[in-house]
Amino acid sequence: MILKATGAPFEEELIEVEATEGRQFSPQAKRAFITKLGEVSPNARLPVLWHNDLLVWDTASIAEYLNELYPEANLWPSDPVSRAIARSVTAEMHSCFLALRRECRMDIFLRTNFELQDEKSHNDVRRMVRLYSSLRKRFKDRGAFLLGPWSIADAFVLPEATRLRSYGISLREHGDEDGIAQAYSDTLLATPHYLEWEGLSAPVA
Amino acid sequence: MILKATGAPFEEELIEVEATEGRQFSPQAKRAFITKLGEVSPNARLPVLWHNDLLVWDTASIAEYLNELYPEANLWPSDPVSRAIARSVTAEMHSCFLALRRECRMDIFLRTNFELQDEKSHNDVRRMVRLYSSLRKRFKDRGAFLLGPWSIADAFVLPEATRLRSYGISLREHGDEDGIAQAYSDTLLATPHYLEWEGLSAPVA
């Protein structure tokens, strides 16, 4: 999403995983995937970015690298205060919300109504609502995204928006009475860049 | 550590936690601490940085903010390739090694010999060894830190160096046959800035 926002040409290597019916993965498919990860990534996590001879790993680092390469893409907000907030959001999305992530593995095509079991997961969702809602109120005059114009922060919120949708988690029941956080999540899930990526990731029939 | 490296004046607010003998925390002390966290930090995590009216939260974001404010402090390596690597390391330290962190809660004054139970924790330590060792070999001619001169990446490795020391985890048994990763960890734990901070954090007798 961030790379697309730069407008730079790039090649994407998707790693296919063979799934059984019901989109489960066999132990063999899991092992093959883990082996492949170890081959392409120094810490067996994705994504990584190759630029000439340089391997950049971890989304947060890739984002900063692209920002340095393409300053004209305005991947971060242009004023220092908004930029600091955007980076704080990005860092929080990058390293927190672990209870929710544990309970609800990311699966963008899943649609279910799941009851969160862990009170910490509820707290994670409440925190997301407070975060999105307070920033949208503050920056609403500048645009439809978290800090107004689209920024890296939105790219880091996006996976969480898919997660909440997949598991049918209601933001309203977690403090979003005025629907501001939900409207923002919906905006993220409707951007052309996201929809294009979602299409590319669809299971092969 | 990063703020000290800028040379900028700052005030530090330490949050005291009352411990029982044996450095355990009572339920009351824990509750008081959590309440205090909620008051000072938007996501109940530390540290946060106040600069005039701006609250910056999360270490990774604070680091980038300080880098913007104090470019002359060279908090990141000056060449783009080393900088991208430093940011990748920082992002990985920031969000990974969760199994090890779960088993070994950070406690800089603890000294014990702990046997890691979770194979994932062993993998975390092996990954640290590979990471430190490969970068130290590559950048050894530029200085004693991970990418030669001290950078934000070193500040993000430091907590892990204290953790491994606290629990008596041998790097050698995790692939550090030549002792390069251990020597680097020792270097981190011997910097004047760290020793000064350690002194400030000591339990009050």
Write the single-letter amino acid at B172.
R
> Are B131 and A64 within 8 A, CB to CB?
no
> Are B96 and A60 within 8 A, CB to CB?
no
Cβ contacts of A60 on chain B, cutoff 8 Å: 60, 87, 90-91, 94-95
- Measured in degrees and rounded to the nearest 5, phi and psi for residue B48 equal -125, 160
Which among B43, B81, B91 is the nearest to A61, CB-wise?
A: B91
CB contact set of A69 (below 8 Å; sequence gap of 6+): A6, A8, A51
**Cα B199 to the chain's mean position, in Å?**
16
> Are A64 and B54 within 8 A, CB to CB?
no
Which among B43, B85, B130 is the nearest to A127, CB-wise?
A: B43
- Residue of A46, A50, A55, A58 for testing the chain B interface, max B β-carbons within 10 Å: A58
pLDDT (tens, 9 = 90+) of chain B, 205 residues, equals: 899 999 999 999 888 888 776 677 888 888 888 888 888 999 888 999 999 999 999 999 999 999 999 999 999 999 999 999 999 999 999 999 999 999 999 999 999 999 999 999 999 999 999 999 999 999 999 999 999 999 999 999 999 999 999 999 999 999 999 999 999 999 999 999 999 999 888 776 5
- What's the CATH fold of domain A76-194? Glutathione S-transferase Yfyf (Class Pi); Chain A, domain 2 (1.20.1050)
> Are A84 and B90 within 8 A, CB to CB?
no
> Are A84 and B95 within 8 A, CB to CB?
no
The token pair that represents A54 in the structure block: 């340089």
> Are A91 and B61 within 8 A, CB to CB?
yes
Sign of CA dihedral A25, A31, A37, A42: positive
3-state DSSP helix/strand/coil percent for chain A, to nearest 5? 55, 5, 35
pLDDT at A205: 58
pLDDT at B186: 98
ipTM, two decimals, is 0.90
Cα–Cα distance, A31 to A150 (Å, whole number): 37
Which among B42, B57, B60 is the nearest to A60, CB-wise?
A: B60
Domain ranges of chain A: 2-72, 76-194
Strand extents, DSSP E, A6-125: 48-51, 54-57
pLDDT at A125: 98
Count of CB pairs separated by less than 8 Å, A with B: 91
The token pair that represents B187 in the structure block: 């270097």
pLDDT at B109: 93
Cβ contacts of A38 on chain B, cutoff 8 Å: none
CB contact set of A129 (below 8 Å; sequence gap of 6+): A171, A174, A175, A176, A181
CA distance A9 to chain B (A): 20
Q: Which residues of chain A have pLDDT under 50?
A: none
Chain B residues with CB-CB distance to A under 8 A? 42-43, 45, 54, 56-61, 64-65, 68, 80-81, 83-85, 87-88, 90-92, 94-96, 98, 127, 130-131
- Which CATH architecture fits A2-72? 3-Layer(aba) Sandwich (3.40)
